[in-house]
Chain A
Amino acid sequence: MSERINSAWSPSSREKERAQARKRISRKQAVVAAVSSIIVIGSLLTIVVTSPGWAVVKKTFFDINYGREVFPTVISGLWINLQLTFIGGACIGVIALGLALMRTTKSPALTPFRFLATAYVDIFRGAPLILIILLVGFGVPALRLHGISSNVIFLGTVAVVLTYSAYVAEVIRSGILSIHPSQRAAARSLGLTSGQTMRYVVLPQAIRRVVPPLLNDFVSLLKDTGLVSILGVTDAVRAAQINASRTFNYTPYVVAAILFLLITIPMTRYTDRAIRQRTNAQNAEGAI
C-alpha cells in the first residue's frame, strides 16, 4: 500500500543543490533559445527587407491603408466561409456516420449498401476536391434538373459535403474498428442486439476516440471552403480576388490569409491540446 505524503518533509541539502543546478541549466537553455531565435528570424527579415524588390512588395502586398479599405468586404466574405463550414459540417457529420455504420455492418441485408458506401468513399476520397467542386458546380446546373437549385453557394456546399463525408466516414470507421472485440463480446453476452451494441457500447467509445482527428478535419474544412470561390461564390477568397484584380494590389489576399489564420490557429491549438489530453487519458485507461 502506498505511503501518505509526509507533510514534515523538507528537501535535503543535496536536493537543494540539484534544484539549483536544474534552474541554472534551464536558464542557460532559455538564453540559447532566445539568441538563436533572434539570429534566425532577424536574418530572415533582413534578407526580405533588403531584397531589391522589397519596396514594391511592401506596396503591393502590405498596403495598410488599402487593407483597411477592403477589410469589410473580405470579412463579409469570410462570413460565407463560416456559414459553409458550420452548415456543411453538420451535414458531413450525419452522412459520414451513416457511411461508417454501413461500412462496418455485417448484416447480410445491408450488403449492397456496404458495397455502395465503400465505392462512395473510394471515389470521393480519391478525387481532388477542386475537381468535385467544378463537376458539381458546373455539371449539375447543366443537367437542368427541375427542383435542383443552381445556386452556387448551395452547389459548392454540396461538393464540399460530398468529399468531406468520405474523409470523416473513414475516421469514424477507424474509431469503430479500434474498439476491442471484447467490448462487443461483453455487450452481446448480456443479450444486447448488434444494433444496441453499436449504439450503446461501441459508438460512444469510438466517437470519443476520434474527436481530435475530427477537429483537424474541421480546420481543413474551413480552409477548403475557400475553394468554392472558383464557382464565383463571394467568400473571403473571392472578395479578395475581386479587389486585387481591380487595383493590381494584392493586399486583400494578405488580409484574407490573416483572417483565416485568426480562426484556424486557435482551432489547431485547441485540437493539439485535445489530442494530448486524449492520449494521456487513454494511457491511464490502459489497454482499453
Chain B
Amino acid sequence: MSYVLELSHIRKSFGNELVLNDLSLSVQEHTATVLIGASGSGKSTLLRCINLLESIDDGQIFLDGVEISDPLINVDEVRRKLGMVFQSFNLFPHKTVLENITLAPIKVQLKSKEEAVDAAMTLLKRFDLADKADQYPDRLSGGQQQRVAIIRSLAINPRLLLLDEITSALDPVLVNEVLSIVRDLKSDGMTMVLATHEMGFATQVADEVCFLESGNILERGTAQEVLHNPKNLKTQDFLKRVHQAGRL
C-alpha cells in the first residue's frame, strides 16, 4: 500500500514546550484525515510541519514516498505539491480575488496569464464567486474570503490539501458554505488533512479521525469509532466538553 503522506515519529518542540511527541500518521490517496483535539494540542503545528513551514526536531515526513524532511530538499518544490488553507484567511489584501488565485500559477507554475485566469474563473464559477473576481479581499465576507483562500490553494493543483480550522473564524451560517466546498472536494477525490472543531462535519467527511492530545495521536479510527464510541477516557472527556459547548 502506498501512501500520499507518511509521518513517522515526528517530534517538535518550541523552547521547553514539547508540542509533537513521537507522532506517526499515514494518509492514503483520496481520503480525508481529520485532526481533532483541544486548543493548543498541536493540530496547527502538525500541519505547518507537513508544509515545511516549521522544521521538525526528529522523525521523517514522506510525500509520495519521497522524504521531504531531508534538509537538502527544495522546499519550494515540495510546497507546490501541497495546498494549505489557514485558520485566518491570509489572503493578500493588495491583490484582487483573481490576482490572489492566479499569483502562484503564473509565478510558480509559469502558466500563461490567460490560462491561469481561465482556470481561476472556472473555479470561481464552480464555487459561486465569479462576480467577486475583481474585488479586493477586505470587501468580502469572512465565508467568501475563506472560500477564495481554498480556491487559491486549489489553483496549484495540489497533491494534498491541508486545511487548518478553516471555519473557526466564521459564524455558523458562513461555516456551511465553506464546508460544502470541502465536501465537494472530498467527492472529487482530493486527498486532505484537516484540523477542525466541527464534529458534525468531521463525521461527514472523515475517513479517519485522529484525536491529538499531549503531542500524540491518542485515538484514531473511523468517525463512527472515535467520535461516537471513543474508547480512550481522554477522548471521551474531550468530546463531552465539545458536546457541552454545543458543537457536536
Contact = CB atoms under 8 A, between A and B. Distances in A.
Contacts, number: 66
Contact of B93 (A193, A200, A285): A285
Q: Size band of the A side of the interface?
A: 20 to 34
B180 interface: no
Interface in B64-113: 75-77, 79-80, 82-84, 86, 88, 90-94, 103-104, 107-109
A185 B47 CA distance: 12
Contacts of A188: 53, 75-76, 79
A286 B79 contact: no
Select the residue from A186, A191, A192, A288 with max chain B CB neighbours within 10 A.
A191
A204 B94 contact: yes
A249 to B, nearest CB: 54
Contacts of B92: 183, 186-187, 201, 205
Interface string A199-239: 01100110010000000000000000000000000000000
A284 B86 contact: no
B51 A189 contact: yes
Contacts of B91: 186
A46 interface: no
A200 B91 CA distance: 13
A142 to B, nearest CB: 48
A150 B109 CA distance: 51
A52 B91 CA distance: 68
A183 B88 CA distance: 10
Contacts of A201: 92, 103
B104 A285 contact: no
Interface string A274-288: 000000000011101
A190 interface: yes
Interface of B: 48, 51, 53, 75-77, 79-80, 82-84, 86, 88, 90-94, 103-104, 107-109, 138, 152-153, 156
25 contacts: A182-B88, A182-B90, A185-B86, A186-B84, A186-B86, A186-B90, A186-B92, A187-B103, A188-B76, A189-B53, A189-B82, A189-B83, A189-B84, A189-B153, A190-B79, A190-B104, A190-B156, A191-B79, A191-B104, A191-B156, A192-B103, A192-B107, A200-B107, A208-B94, A285-B93
